[in-house]
Amino acid sequence: MESALFAPTQTEDLVTNRAASPAGSLSAPALDASVVVEDGAVLILDRRVFPARIEWVRAATPAEVATAITDMVTQSSGPMFAACAGMELAALQAASLSLDAAAASLHTAGHALANARPTNNHPREAVEHILAAIVGTTSTPQLVELAIEAAREFAQLYRTRSRALGEYTVALLDDGARILTHCWMDTYLVELVRAADAAGKRFDWVATETRPYLQGARLTSHTLREMGQRVTLITDSMGAAALAPGSTLGRIDALVTAADRVSLDGSVANKVGTLGLAVAAQAFEVPYYALVQAPDATLATGSDIVIEQRDPDEVFSTLGARTASELVTDAWYPAFDVTPPRFVTAVVTDRGPFAPAALRDYFADAPAAATAS
């Protein structure tokens, strides 16, 4: 990965223009367009420093895109969009190769992008979709064309499915509901807010700061404010107190988070800290809705979900500044935790909300979405 940050005027204008909106409409948040293919490289808006600084990391190869994903340059939906862009770049760079060499190059790129972070499955699904599209190609130009087409198609499909998921979530929530969320739902959040606006509903949001990268404080809260939403920021340790009856914050009506992975038994893998919030929500009779486009048919139970173990040194610092005593040498940082299905009210998918025990119905020919309350 190149250490230099790349911020071309055209891309800065893209972010600025998307953040602007005419009166009476929702703003288009900057993070909704944070991965672009431009001038023979992939440009990724660096979410590690956003919104304090708008800086773009330039990845000149698919391997550098994978490194950016691993290094947390982009998170949540971002790695999926980065994987699509990385595969598009791989196709462009394979244009001068023989057919066999071009196909091998795309498979190598796909392996790196799909495995950059192990828990979230969307980059892997994107790679599989793109590689399936080039099966049977008879020339390198055809392979390049089909790969690029499939990469763009998957990214657009992700947005479409996220909008459906957002609409189903909005239907579960009353106008004026106060929602607690954790970490950064990315495209799910943006489409949920858009769906609420279309339905004539407005929510109050409560966001956890989400250490150590502070995605809630920086990404979630900033995006909600860009879209004209009211948001109250709390520290991670305040979640249970916020959910408790009689909180001076006011009643929390629902806990709503994204899910990086959901197994067929309804276990939910999401940013570490979600489990504690879900347990507290159930204790105080607050519904917990976990958002994912689809459960993972390859995972029977939560124990099958691979949890990414990040460098413990990341716990010692926040935004590059050491916050732990220099005497402290031990830390632990699982990036995700798994919430058992008994703490999940419903898993909301692009086919509607399902009770955890009924998730296998998602894959039925005519899925019977549960009515959650």
Cα 166–Cα 298–Cα 180 angle in degrees, nearest 5: 30
Quick one: how far is CA 312 from the chain centroid?
Answer: 22
Buried b (16+ CB within 10 A) or exposed e, 53-75: ebbbbbbbbbbbbbbbbbebbbb
**CA-CA distance, 336 to 76, in Å (whole number)?**
12
Residue with tokens 């431009």: 38
Question: Active-site residue 260, yes or no?
Answer: yes
How far from 360 is each of 19, 44, 209, 297, 368, CA to CA, in Å? Answer: 39, 36, 34, 8, 10
> Which of 260, 296, 337, 350 is labelled catalytic?
260
Which amino acid is present at 203? Answer: F
For residue 303, how many other CB atoms are within 10 A of its CB?
10
| Rama region for 60: left / alpha / beta (φ>0; ψ in -120 to 50; rest) | alpha
How far from 311 is each of 182, 219, 317, CA to CA, in Å? Answer: 21, 22, 11
Residue with tokens 């595969």: 87
Work out the burial of residue 305: count CB atoms within 10 Å of its CB; fewer than 13 is exposed, 13-18 middle, 19 or more buried.
buried
DSSP 8-state assignment for residue 307: P
Nearest Cα residue to 191 out of 212, 162, 222: 162
- The DSSP element (H or E) to which 233 belongs, if any, is strand 230-234
Residue with tokens 């943006």: 190
Phi, psi dihedrals of residue 221, rounded to the nearest 5°: -65, -45
Phi, psi dihedrals of residue 322, rounded to the nearest 5°: -65, 125
DSSP 8-state assignment for residue 366: S
Q: Across the chain, how many H-helices and E-strands are there?
A: 11, 15
For residue 304, how many other CB atoms are within 10 A of its CB?
15
- The residues annotated with a catalytic role in the active site are 260
